[in-house]
Amino acid sequence: MSEGSTIFDVQRVSKVYHTRSRHAHAVTALNDVTFSVGEGDSMAIVGESGSGKSTLSRLLLALEAPTSGTVSYRGQVISGRDERELRDFRRRVQIVFQDPMSSLDPHMKVHDLLAEPLRALKIEADEGERVRELLTSVEMPVSSANRYAHQFSGGQRQRIAIARALGPSPEVLIADEPVSALDVSVRAQILNLLTELVHDFNLTLVFISHDMAVVRHLCMSIVVLYRGNLIEMGKTEELFASPREDYTKELLAAAPRIRAVRATRGVPGREA
Amino acid sequence: MGIGMPPLDQPTTTGDNEPYVFEVARGRGWRRWLHNPSALIGSIIVVLVVASALVSLVWTPYSPLAVDPSHALSGPSLRHLLGTDEYGRDVFSRLMASSQVALFVGVLSVLIATAVGIPAGLLAAERRGATGQVVLRLADILYGFPALLAAVVLAAAFGASKSTVVLAIGISYIPVFVRVTRSNALVVLNSEYVLAARAYGRRPLAIMRRHVIPNIMTTIIAQMSLLFSLAVLAETALDFLGLGTAPPAASWGTMLQSSQNYLGNDPLLTVWPSVAIVLCVLGFSLFGDGISELRDVRGHR
């Protein structure tokens, strides 16, 4: 497991969104969350929609700053930093989004989609050569480079999105529900591809999901979020064997009955 | 920047089995263009108007200003295809020369409106805070200031001419482009591909250039075409009111204006410029519609 150094250190992070609506003044997306991700780890962040998973991914990417608390990457605080100071971080941490339809610019050919991160990060490489390599590593034909993303199916698009994330040779891959927008029939293919790539490129994986079956297959440890609160964390096997929290048990059941969960647990997100 | 549609080849059906909805029945970009009636008719009319303006620069059947009192108000004939006006000037030649004015005013006023409106709209989309609000409020103020009023003020200050018309129409269309640009840019800026670009270190300006502008370009061009036709309409209205092109020079608006005195004797004199105006406006609107329809094909998937 995580014998290596700490990659991400999330310390007492809260994120509050202020809305302009007159009814709800502020939404607490994350509330005092603390955990860390070790090198070579594969960590799942699970929870139902609205639990703060995606907010957490944006904080880990330093695309947003936490309201309080700090997010560190290899001992360096990354939140609220100037983009110039983040250049190296941007190269090392990449993301695959949920919906490859909206995460790939419809106006760019696959070649440009894959070359853009290299150009933006000023990575010295033969662009065409690198694009071919990337397409091959996600098992797409090299000829795909001349097409547009909308000419591919959902699964193929997600392969392109994964290839884009691999472009800068990152050490961390954040996957934000990478298969939940896909056809059930192609999910397994994409998950297998992810597993292989994580192994081949020695990636640290942060896998955001609500699907416990997938998580069990892919991840060593799990963080459970419920309404912005970290309610349980642990190694995958232990957590599956003896979940402490009711909510975790509910998640482990194939189809969590969210209404029943609410009735028994009240609204923990508002307590603090 | 390529505004053409990407080639939509035969759909790929390798690997994952997800159906292709749109690409199947459609050919390459230009073929879809030909199969789209409004785009086709629109572009034919646009080509006609542009051609007649260009040809009139070097050749018209008669000089549009040549007076021939002995043949005044003669109806259509072989010598004068569409007849002559009250001074015996050839109507066909004057119609051709007028298309110069229409294009000049249309193109320049739309250029002014875009040159100011698009950057302002992008700024308002990027800076959603105070700066964006200031830009939007300024656009609102401009929006409440009608082109006609601007034209009257400018004509009073600098004298009525083509340039004051261009300026008046151009300024009054700025807010339209601010809004269209801003709302479309916001959609792009909120997209996941921009989030992805930020995650690999693209800065705001580069995101504008590489993602926002290419993705809103078709909408902007459609809007330009539409506003162009409205500008032609506004120009004829201002000319009709005597706030634009000065009388001896030909323009559809002035022709219409002078023809109303002879409505009883020679009603055709009113018909010709009207037909020209309607055709031109219709042509450019259809052209704009065609562009946005083609864009929709790819917008949905």
Using the beta-carbon criterion (under 8 Å), do B199 and A156 form an inter-chain contact? no
Distance from CA of B200 to the nearest CA of A (A): 5
Q: pTM for this structure?
A: 0.79
Decide: B252 and B273 in contact? Cβ < 8 Å: yes
User: Which residue of chain A comes nearest to B213, CA vs CA?
Assistant: A107
pLDDT number for residue B149: 83
Mean residue pLDDT across chain B: 82
Tens-digit pLDDT profile for residues B160-197: 888 888 999 999 999 999 999 999 999 999 999 999 99
Mean residue pLDDT across chain A: 86
CATH code of the domain made up of B27-55+90-300: 1.10.3720.10
Main-chain phi, psi angles of A244, to 5 degrees: -85, -40
Using the beta-carbon criterion (under 8 Å), do A94 and B11 form an inter-chain contact? no
Tens-digit pLDDT profile for residues A76-131: 999 878 888 898 999 999 999 998 889 999 989 999 999 999 999 999 889 999 99
Least confident segment among A5-14, A50-59, A128-137 = A50-59
Percent of chain B topping pLDDT 90: 37
Tens-digit pLDDT profile for residues B233-270: 998 988 888 888 877 788 888 888 888 888 888 888 88
Residues in A whose CB is inside 8 Å of some CB of B read: 58, 61, 63, 83, 86-87, 90-91, 93-95, 97-99, 101-109, 116-117, 120-121, 141, 147-148, 150-156, 161, 164, 167-168, 183, 185-186, 189
What burial class does residue B145 get, using C-beta atoms within 10 Å of its C-beta: 0-12 exposed, 13-18 middle, 19+ buried?
A: middle
Band the pLDDT of B34: cuts 50, 70, 90: confident
Q: Is pLDDT above 60 for A2? A: no
CA distance B241 to B216: 37
User: Which residue of chain A comes nearest to B15, CA vs CA?
Assistant: A156
Check residue A170 and give left, alpha or beta (phi > 0: left; psi -120 to 50: alpha): beta
Using the beta-carbon criterion (under 8 Å), do B195 and A103 form an inter-chain contact? yes
pLDDT number for residue B189: 94
Tens-digit pLDDT profile for residues A165-209: 999 999 999 999 998 888 888 988 999 999 999 999 999 999 998
Percent of chain A topping pLDDT 90: 52
Contacts of B197 in chain A (CB under 8 A): 105, 116, 120
User: Which amino acid is it at A153?
Assistant: S
Distance from CA of A119 to the nearest CA of B (A): 9
CA distance A259 to B262: 80
Q: Is pLDDT above 70 for B44? A: yes
ipTM for the complex shown:
0.84
User: Which residue of chain A comes nearest to B214, CA vs CA?
Assistant: A107
pLDDT number for residue B19: 39
| Orientation angle between helical segments B91-126 and B162-189, nearest 10 degrees | 40
pLDDT number for residue B39: 85
- Residues A221-228, mean pLDDT to the nearest whole number: 90
Per the model's pLDDT, the better-predicted residue between A37 and B301 turns out to be A37
Which among B15, B192, B298 has the least Cβ separation from residue A150? B298
Q: Is pLDDT above 70 for B18? A: no
Q: How far is CA A219 from CA A171, A206, A215, B239, in A?
A: 16, 9, 5, 74
Q: Is pLDDT above 80 for B124? A: yes
